[in-house]
Structure 1
């Protein structure tokens, strides 16, 4: 069985069949021949289906592959506008097949002969686009949450007194962030032992951006309470509304108080590739560290995230233990990535990005960002002109928040929650919802550059014409 399982001929046959299946899927979604974007079933129904499948024992793997395709959410469908994950370019998936078969981990150079050098090239490219000089670089890691935590650990190692790695923290440390920042910043601070008091959340303005005019006040209050603030995290952009914090104002504040500035640009930092929209991250070159996800706006499979440091030597401050079975010295080796990341066996994610650069150049990223950000503004115009829709805030990114106002009752929150639930079970579109100042809004995150204004007009028609009232078989909480 093992000999057959490793057979080159078996692999060739299986891979050819799978590529045909995936190509059919792409054709059906992009042409909208496949009408269902999300084939929704309740969690219990889905579990029961797969338990039954598993009980049948081994079978035709191509049938299994097709079932996975059929029952998954179709990110490549132009009417997918839900969570913040890109429909990856097909070439990136092909590169993924290459890297997953080669399976070279890259904590040490001898296991990352290709991926470590490519990772450095990609990091230096992104550092240049940010506006950093030749001292800057970084690495790739599995997701923005892990990158943000790593950046804050580097901030602690740099700005906290004493050697925290060896002796622990002697003071109560804190980080400042806007209340609209991604939840992973709060989580990172708690993982680092900062507790409730160590996560100082600033209010946001009417555009859901950090109130930078309150930074000094909150800082002084924290200091008076015995806290030592080590860092400020700016969002570029926030998850709920796509709003960009004023990075220049935050940088000025951090410079005054000798604080670490980290910019969580997981979603919107990709605008560094766009001449049209890079003004949204003005001041980014003054950050100490920057997170940018390739899997959000740069069409690479999840999880693929860059963490870039303005001073590359800072990236070696986070983890300082020795591991003699991996590397012989404690030198700052760029080619031994395990010295700087949580991950030891790390995917060859740089190959996927490099493949896109090799095939298309940076222009493919520019075109994607400009297309989706432009489309969001056109969608906002449609909403603004519609008598039964209300825009939450003018979009700065490809995220648009709005709500339906033609409710039969005064409860707009329940009205929009019900509409979203019905849309989910209908399956022809996939959007999500968020809560802003206690009000429920529908939230569209435009991910697919093949989405058209016609798709968005049909989404609006579906929303305002949906019958209100939850059917008996619709779960009460989605």
Structure 2
């Protein structure tokens, strides 16, 4: 009788002979060997770092516009043509094209969206974590990442004043973070166990009309519908009118809705205004509602003695989200979901996955898949941890104070210009303003500023965006780059003025 071991050898030999090249069972192919070569990686890595260092040097000089705009069809045609060319073992050309066809966030003339100019050391750490490719749903697949996440969420919870029982998790961006927190709120405050039993209850949340659109999106994903998103009007500073919470709640109840959460903005997206979080906390405690603070952009003010009063009351929130990729200079996406009671996080998702966890119901912090949407979650904590260990917490504090202070200085300069106006005195690093010229009809101001923004996008020396505030168009800057100075902002105002004077007579 042929032994089992010999039979297995004969079977493999037969398969190799009849169905595949023998080298598949002896060694990797020459192509795969080259692709995984440490020496090739070393060579390509040095070339890439040199390219990126030159890119940073050119971008930070601010000598060129942060964006060389191309129409969408032209951009697609460029990459389609490039894609059709033969493969090249040297990726340098691809990298150069990516750099020249992308917006430069490190350019001090970039003043558009709320996206950070990432710390170079965090970008290098991203390369490390990409090569490791350690997921975090299961502890043994992400030992370091899960531990670092625990350390960092506790550190940030402490800085926010959430208390000794606080903790949380990290996830991919503010949209998932807000959805995760609201799912937790629903699990703990809804009349029925929606996760297990479904629900016929008409559930609702209350939120500022100026809240980020992702809160609206999260509510719709949860099945609340338009009626379940109760948008409370804002005051002249675009802050939620907390005096309206009581009548709006009573009206919702009269309409047959069950409100389970109230969201406070810290800060709002369009204007950077902070809601009165203390008043919202009082209201939620009075009515046994979940208090969620969307601090994706501005929660980091808690790290500054100067600006901490802006987030007074956030320590009473049941849940808070903070984006590290906004005011904490991390590459996207890195967001913390924090809970005043860390145990609440385990109520969000309750399902069996025997191949992942021996006990799906045990509240262990080290299997992050139990509390987050992602299963194969990026090792995002390493980027934040490396920055903290390299530069210390003071780096984040100084960045917040510099950008918030610069926004105030810029707004002060604008108010001295008779042909400009500010929408609202800034509380954060976001400034909304517009060109009003001399003798321009009020009904033309919005169209003029929209035209100015479009002209700046396609051929101007700066990058800024626009927003709509109560039916009017305003130009908007988010001062995110540590290298942006008041002189750059004054130059921006001059460029807007010149465009306004050129466009206005038409």
With the length of structure 2 as denominator, give the TM-score of the two structures.
0.92
1:423 aligned partner? 456
Other structure's SS at 2:215 match:
helix
In the alignment, is the contact (CA less than 8 A) between 2:65 and 2:109 conserved in 1? no
Aligned mate of 1:248, from 262, 278, 294 = 278
Pairwise mapping of residues 102-251 of structure 1 onto structure 2 (< 5 A)?
102-251=132-281
Deviation at 1:287, TM superposition (A): 0.2
Aligned mate of 1:366, from 384, 397, 401 = 397
Aligned mate of 1:314, from 344, 347, 357 = 344
Pairwise mapping of residues 10-409 of structure 1 onto structure 2 (< 5 A)?
10-33=40-63, 35-59=64-88, 60-329=90-359, 330-406=361-437, 409=440
Distance change (3 Å), C-alpha of 1:224 and 1:69? same
1:475 aligned partner? none
Other structure's SS at 1:325 match:
coil
2:473 aligned partner? 440
In the alignment, is the contact (CA less than 8 A) between 1:237 and 1:244 conserved in 2? yes
Deviation at 1:427, TM superposition (A): 4.1
Aligned mate of 1:454, from 473, 476, 487 = 487
**Separation of aligned partners in 1, 2:438 and 2:268:** 29
Deviation at 1:453, TM superposition (A): 1.0
Other structure's SS at 2:467 match:
strand
1:473 aligned partner? none
**Separation of aligned partners in 1, 2:331 and 2:425:** 29
In the alignment, is the contact (CA less than 8 A) between 1:107 and 1:337 conserved in 2? yes
Larger deviation, residues 168-177 vs 315-324: 168-177
Runs of 5+ in structure 2 lacking a partner?
Answer: 1-30
**Separation of aligned partners in 2, 1:460 and 1:164:** 52
Offset from partner CA, 1:7-63 (integer Å, 9 cap, x none): 000000001000000001111121224x12111101111001111111112134101
**Separation of aligned partners in 2, 1:61 and 1:212:** 56
Offset from partner CA, 1:172-224 (integer Å, 9 cap, x none): 11000010000111111111111111100000000000010000000000011
**Separation of aligned partners in 2, 1:235 and 1:205:** 14
**Separation of aligned partners in 2, 1:427 and 1:383:** 20
Other structure's SS at 1:245 match:
coil
CA RMSD of aligned residues (A): 1.2
Other structure's SS at 2:226 match:
coil
In the alignment, is the contact (CA less than 8 A) between 1:389 and 1:403 conserved in 2? yes
**Separation of aligned partners in 1, 2:469 and 2:438:** 19
Question: Which is greater in Rg?
Answer: 2
In the alignment, is the contact (CA less than 8 A) between 1:407 and 1:415 conserved in 2? no
Offset from partner CA, 1:62-117 (integer Å, 9 cap, x none): 01101111110000001100011100000000100100000000101011110000
Other structure's SS at 2:143 match:
coil
**Separation of aligned partners in 2, 1:382 and 1:43:** 36
**Separation of aligned partners in 1, 2:227 and 2:438:** 41
